[in-house]
Homo-oligomer: A and B are copies of this chain.
Amino acid sequence: MTEINGSDPARTIATLWGTRQLPRRGPKHTLTSEQVIAAAVEIADGDQDLATLSMRRVAESLGVGTMSLYTYIASREELLEAMLDKVYGEAVRELGEPGEHDWVDGLREVARVNWDLCLRHPWLLQVFTGRPPLGPRSIAKYERELAVVDGLGLTDVEMDSVLTLVHDHVQGTARRRIEADRAIRRTGMDDEQWWAKAGPALAEVFDPERFPLAARVGQSAGEAHNGAHNPEHAYAFGLARLLEGVAALVKTR
């Protein structure tokens, strides 16, 4: 009666909510799943990347054999989902109790908290979330965020859609910001050094007459912020537009 696939939603849910009862028999456990998850988060935060988070390294940091981890966690994938849920707890705490602001400021706060969370744990956006995360803190976060758009006359589906819209914007801009940082670390070149190499090479093949707008706007954007794109600016600009769009909808109710 083995699971065909490693992913057993019921087992994962039990792990996330802490209701998986550990076996009574056998040697004492030297660890808990919480310890494994915490160690993994620490490593991922340090690396700012998931790619280099291996089971071996997690085990080493805890002073156990690699395979011992699988006593506490079903698979690497389940571990990642648990890590996600753990750090979502930070967002829940930061958001605190609802009801102080109007909804616009509320959404601004939601955006800000999610942005900060992404930058604090850049690996977060690399976690595969093909299925909705059903951990306690993921749900608590959703609950708290829904409170911001409750009572505006929106339908349930619209409430969900508005939050999705804000999340996508934050994640999109945060992703750009994070990947830019990663590019610097991985290549060992900052933007200036990189352009010093890419610029001349591009100049040899790029014809400004064929791409007049790209040439002009690319240059302007590059000068305004230093670097090709400025994610912080994209974040603020986009959020402003987006809130105006939502306001227009709310006004019709």
Q: List residues of chain A with CB under 8 Å of any chain B CB.
A: 4-5, 7-10, 13-14, 17, 19, 128-132, 134, 136, 139-140, 142-143, 146-147, 150, 155-162, 164-165, 167-169, 171-173, 176, 179-184, 186-189, 194, 197-198, 200-202, 204-206, 210-214, 216-218, 220-221, 224, 228-229, 233-234, 237-238, 240-246, 248-249
Contacts and interface: CB of A to CB of B under 8 A. Distances in A.
B183 A130 contact: yes
26 contacts: A4-B188, A5-B186, A7-B187, A9-B194, A130-B180, A130-B184, A131-B194, A131-B228, A132-B228, A134-B198, A134-B202, A142-B211, A143-B213, A150-B213, A156-B217, A156-B221, A157-B220, A160-B217, A161-B234, A161-B237, A164-B234, A165-B234, A168-B169, A242-B242, A244-B244, A248-B248
Contacts of A7: 186-187
B142 A214 contact: yes
A162 B8 CA distance: 42
Q: How many copies does the complex hold?
A: 2
Nearest to A11: B201
Binding site secondary structure of chain A: helix
Contact of A229 (B132, B140, B197): B132
Given A198-B10, A241-B249, A168 B173 contact: yes
A185 to B, nearest CB: 9
A229 B164 contact: yes
A99 to B, nearest CB: 13
A20 to B, nearest CB: 11
